[in-house]
């Protein structure tokens, strides 16, 4: 019997060893499209206010991930995890605008070793100096002949960045010049989230954000047309995602869903059924592991993500995690664990109020209006929570009925079992991933040569706000 099986094996599989290179399955091209400061406020996610026809079409042609979360609610720590496949809290990039002295290997370097051409123009923001081996080209690739195949090409769409919401110097008009009158959002038709005061400034910022999302949607359409023009759509994986939540207070920089929940759309013709909806928990770190697996490269053991697609797809995790530490000049340590329904946050420094001054956040009309309404005593309990002198040590939210996370259930005895479960999951994650903040402050990380000293401009900013 064993001899028969041996001959059968040889008959079936030996010919595969002698396939010509041109007959073997091709490594897919991969295109990353990143919408800066973009949450899941898209039509394909059921947002009736969104005007996003190109992204909606992309979702209809591939998969829409409903539970995709980044591991950090601000640019540099989020992107450092993306490029290294590891939690920033593990490798030392958790402090915004810190510079890691000895970064680990990037997943793009490993893709290059597997034969990929990596084109990464523009923004990196990895919280470490760009390694010389992470990309083949830093030049713009869009609207030019395609790179050598197989390739990974990256494009960063900046128009949704928080700075563009508040721009008064003509940048907003320039960014939105392609929008028709019907595509523009009226502040009068928008309703702020319940934690924000309902003021003209808040409504205007929200309307501007939605207009900028439409502007980014136009740019996504440009990328999709380029792919078609190059004749490479069938063997090209298109991945659209936001680096974290929208650039408004209590979204960007915060470990609530509004800061961690991101859109994730993936199209891969003939491999992903059109119109798929993926409800499984997905971590930002999954993208690097998935790209390596699909590109024929081994996923390193220290990569924290799982493989989302292809023959080696790995099972859904029970939890996903998030973290924040320094946000520009302001420190706070918060950790987050999320299952499909429940969200647990731990505030390691409850004595630090949510509403610490962060210079770039204070420049926006929404934050100024929020502070003004607080001083005037015009806020609801949900809106005043942000300004409490002390934060709760623990927060627990049932996102199925409280998507804005304004009803903290951590002290409700009815949910003590879930609280204990997620508390234990948090403890295990902090320990098993060797969260550096457990033992080292940012200053101690500098002393040990892990990161470089933080920019002195942050001390100047803190001094500016000290008397406010």
Give me the active site residues, please: 75
Paired tokens of 136: 């083949």
Are residues 247 and 165 in contact, defined by beta-carbon separation less than 8 angstroms?
A: yes
CA torsion, points 125, 86, 241, 99, in degrees to nearest 10? -10
Paired tokens of 285: 């770190």
Paired tokens of 452: 């470089």
Residue 155 CB partners (closer than 8 Å, separation 6+): 31, 32, 33, 34, 121, 122, 141, 142, 223
Q: Mapping DSSP to helix (H, G, I), strand (E, B) and coil, where does residue 432 land?
A: helix
Are residues 124 and 130 in contact, defined by beta-carbon separation less than 8 angstroms?
A: yes
Positive or negative: CA dihedral 351, 387, 329, 78: positive
Are residues 95 and 443 in contact, defined by beta-carbon separation less than 8 angstroms?
A: no
Q: Mapping DSSP to helix (H, G, I), strand (E, B) and coil, where does residue 32 land?
A: strand
**Rounded CA gap, 297 and 107, in Å?**
9
**Which residue, 157, 133, 135, 153, is CA-closest to 145?**
153
**Rounded CA gap, 78 and 126, in Å?**
8
Are residues 323 and 87 in contact, defined by beta-carbon separation less than 8 angstroms?
A: yes
Q: Mapping DSSP to helix (H, G, I), strand (E, B) and coil, where does residue 362 land?
A: helix
> How far, CA to CA in Å, does 392 sit from each of 270, 344, 356, 395, 397?
49, 12, 15, 7, 13
Q: DSSP assignment, residue 426?
A: H
Q: Which H or E run contains 375? A: helix 365-375
Are residues 112 and 348 in contact, defined by beta-carbon separation less than 8 angstroms?
A: no
What is the β-pairing status of strands 236-242 and 151-157?
Answer: unpaired
DSSP per residue, 236-299: EEEEEEESSS-SSTTTTTSSSHHHHB--EEEE-TTTS-TTEEE-S-EETTHHHHHHHHHTT-PP
Kindly give the interhelix angle for 365-375 and 200-230, rounded to the nearest 10 degrees. 160
Cis ω for the linkage preceding 410 (within 30 of 0): no
């Amino acid at each position: 019997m064993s001899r028969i099986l041996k001959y059968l094996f040889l008959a079936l599989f030996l010919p595969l060893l002698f396939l010509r290179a041109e007959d073997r399955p091709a490594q897919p091209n991969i295109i990353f499209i990143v919408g800066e400061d973009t949450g899941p406020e898209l039509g394909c996610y059921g947002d009736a206010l969104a005007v996003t026809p190109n992204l909606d079409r992309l979702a209809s042609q591939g998969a829409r991930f409903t539970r995709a979360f980044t591991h950090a609610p601000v640019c540099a720590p989020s992107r450092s995890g993306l490029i290294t496949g590891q939690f920033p809290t593990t490798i030392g990039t958790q402090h915004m605008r810190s510079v890691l002295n000895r970064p680990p290997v990037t997943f793009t370097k490993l893709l290059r070793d597997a034969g990929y051409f990596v084109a990464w123009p523009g923004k990196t923001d990895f919280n470490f100096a760009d390694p010389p081996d992470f990309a083949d080209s830093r030049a713009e690739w869009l609207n030019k002949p395609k790179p050598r195949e197989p390739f990974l090409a990256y494009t960063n769409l900046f128009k949704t960045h928080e700075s563009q919401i508040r721009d008064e110097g003509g940048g907003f008009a320039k960014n939105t010049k392609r929008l028709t009158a019907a595509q523009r959002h009226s502040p009068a038709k928008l309703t702020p989230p319940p934690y924000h005061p309902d003021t003209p400034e808040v409504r205007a910022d929200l309307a501007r954000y939605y207009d900028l999302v439409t502007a980014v949607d136009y740019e996504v359409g440009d990328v999709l047309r380029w792919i078609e023009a190059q004749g490479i759509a069938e063997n090209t994986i298109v991945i659209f995602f936001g680096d974290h939540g929208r650039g408004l207070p209590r979204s960007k920089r915060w470990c609530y869903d509004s800061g961690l929940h991101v859109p994730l759309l993936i199209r891969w013709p003939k491999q992903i059924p059109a119109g798929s909806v993926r409800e499984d928990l997905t971590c930002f770190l999954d993208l690097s592991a998935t790209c390596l697996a699909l590109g024929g490269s081994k996923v390193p053991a220290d990569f924290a993500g799982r493989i989302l697609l292809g023959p080696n797809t790995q099972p859904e995790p029970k939890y996903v995690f998030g973290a924040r530490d320094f946000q520009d000049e302001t420190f706070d340590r918060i950790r987050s664990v999320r299952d499909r329904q429940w969200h647990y946050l731990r505030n390691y420094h409850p004595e630090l109020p949510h509403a610490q001054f962060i210079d770039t956040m204070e420049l926006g009309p929404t934050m100024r209006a929020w502070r003004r309404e607080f001083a005037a005593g015009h806020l609801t309990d949900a809106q005043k929570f942000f300004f409490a002198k002390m934060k709760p040590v623990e927060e627990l939210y049932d996102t199925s009925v409280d998507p804005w996370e304004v009803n903290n259930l951590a002290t409700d005895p009815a949910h003590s079992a879930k609280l204990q479960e997620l508390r234990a999951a948090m403890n295990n994650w902090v320990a098993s991933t060797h969260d550096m903040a457990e033992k080292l402050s940012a200053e101690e990380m500098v002393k040990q040569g892990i990161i470089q000293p933080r920019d002195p401009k942050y001390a100047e900013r803190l001094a500016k706000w000290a008397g406010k």
